[in-house]
Amino acid sequence: MNVEYPPETVAFREEIRAFLRRELPADWAGLGALDEDAAREFTAWWRTRMASVGWLTPSWPREYGGAGLSRLQQVVLAEEFARAGVPVRGANDVFSVKMIGNLLLAHGTEEQKRRFLPRIVSGEDRWCQGFSEPDAGSDLAALRTRARLVDGEWVIEGQKIWTSDARTANWMFLLARTDPDAGKHAGISMLLVPMDQPGITVRPIHMITGGNNFNEVFFDGARTAEQNVVIGPGQGWTAAMALLGLERGDEAATNPIFFRAEVDRLIALAQERGLAGDELVRDRLARAVTRAEIMRYLGLRTLTGWLRGDAAGTDASISKLYWSEHHRETTDLAVSLLGADALVPTGRKPIRHYRTDDPDAPNSSASWVGTWLTAISGTIYAGTSEVQRNILAEAVLGLPKERRS
Ligand SMILES: Cc1cc2nc3c(=O)[nH]c(=O)nc-3n(C[C@H](O)[C@H](O)[C@H](O)COP(=O)(O)OP(=O)(O)OC[C@H]3O[C@@H](n4cnc5c(N)ncnc54)[C@H](O)[C@@H]3O)c2cc1C
């Protein structure tokens, strides 16, 4: 594992810092220091600004709207953005850039890349992910949504659930069963489907956080062109698996920064509440600091492998399990420190539905309670903790394989 960055990164790091000094207001204290509306507005403006210089999609070739940066430069960029408290992406870009954009860049046809990638960068297209169904979550290959080819178009029938951002997205990448006679994994295809059409109905699901970006999506004869399939018909499982290893570099660099900043806010909260001298609280804080430090080393190990071009292996499962369980415990301590105040959350709420609140967010009860609820969901989406433990038990510890139905 390398714990030092190579010398060639120094000049690039300085270039980014100079850019940030030029672009950000002199009194910039991080996204969290802005109120909720201002933070949303800033995120939208920053996304457009980043897209204009290629830094929204730093590793993508220039012809598709990227900056053609090396992996190492991409990591340095993400790290400096995280330190400065500015977003690495826009509100919907986990789905648009990180997932489908990177997947098409790696596996799309030339026509798909030319058609979709520039529209992702410009923000004209916003994507959502249609994988989960009422009876297919962890056991994703049990999905029952079907698509069949009729006169050069896929015609889709079925239902998805827990679809984040489905009401603001205009495209969905979904998994559908296209060959009912093939084996459980073999008959699945990944289709690219426009959302604005009569065959699609989106119904919001209200979340415990007060947010409503969750949805059920119903397909009743929805259509998409025959060529809107990723890799090829029957290759949906391969495409879905390929999503898992994408862009692990920037998370490995930014997770330790965000989670350490959150632990520092937690320590400040204990001090503000006069609880920093309590032995049990000190013990739990020390564990939180230790976990954040372990996360930094896990990140460095992942980065070293990624920069070397090693296959993803089990890094993604280790990282997902580690940060999500850490986050649940850390925010649980915050809610304990708040005591009865957690029952009547006040102040600035988190504007994001994932991970930590923004750097420099105030220690408001609404920030911590919102983040605590979000942290619980972190142990569920993108592979639950139990499923990650199963993967690690089999792949790393060599324990006997789980019985499959
Ligand atoms: C905030 C959030 C956002 C999401 N966004 C999206 C989205 O945009 N698009 C999308 O398609 N999906 C999305 N999901 C859905 C998510 O992918 C599923 O919730 C997840 O895959 C788990 O599936 P499930 O909810 O059906 O639970 P289940 O799979 O039914 O699991 C229920 C419980 O059983 C456990 N379990 C299941 N199988 C095993 C096993 N083999 N061994 C041990 N324990 C097991 C699980 O760990 C869990 O505790 C989102 C979920 C959340 C929470």
Q: 33 in ligand 1 pocket by Cβ < 6 Å?
A: no
Q: What is the mean pLDDT of the chain?
A: 93
Separation of alpha carbons 18 and 23, rounded Å: 9
Nearest ligand 1 atom, CA 384: 47
* Protein residue whose Cα sits closest to atom 52 of ligand 1: 381
For the stretch 92-121, pLDDT in tens is: 999 999 999 999 999 999 999 999 999 999
- Compute the chain's Rg from CA coordinates: 22
In the predicted structure, residue 1 carries a pLDDT above the cut 80: no
For the stretch 50-76, pLDDT in tens is: 999 999 999 999 999 999 999 889 989
**Cα separation values, 29 from 87, 297, 360, 362, Å:** 13, 27, 7, 11
Q: How far is the CA of 134 from the centre of ligand 1 (A)?
A: 10
Q: 162 in ligand 1 pocket by Cβ < 6 Å?
A: yes
Q: 168 in ligand 1 pocket by Cβ < 6 Å?
A: no
Q: 211 in ligand 1 pocket by Cβ < 6 Å?
A: no
Catalytic status, residue 247: yes
Nearest ligand 1 atom, CA 385: 47
For the stretch 136-183, pLDDT in tens is: 999 999 999 999 999 999 999 999 999 999 999 999 999 999 999 998
For the stretch 310-321, pLDDT in tens is: 877 788 899 999
Under a CB-based contact definition with an 8 Å cutoff, are residues 364 and 348 in contact?
yes
Candidates 247, 293, 325, 329; catalytic one: 247
Q: 132 in ligand 1 pocket by Cβ < 6 Å?
A: yes
Confidence (pTM): 0.95
Nearest ligand 1 atom, CA 402: 41
- Percentage of the chain surpassing pLDDT 70? 99
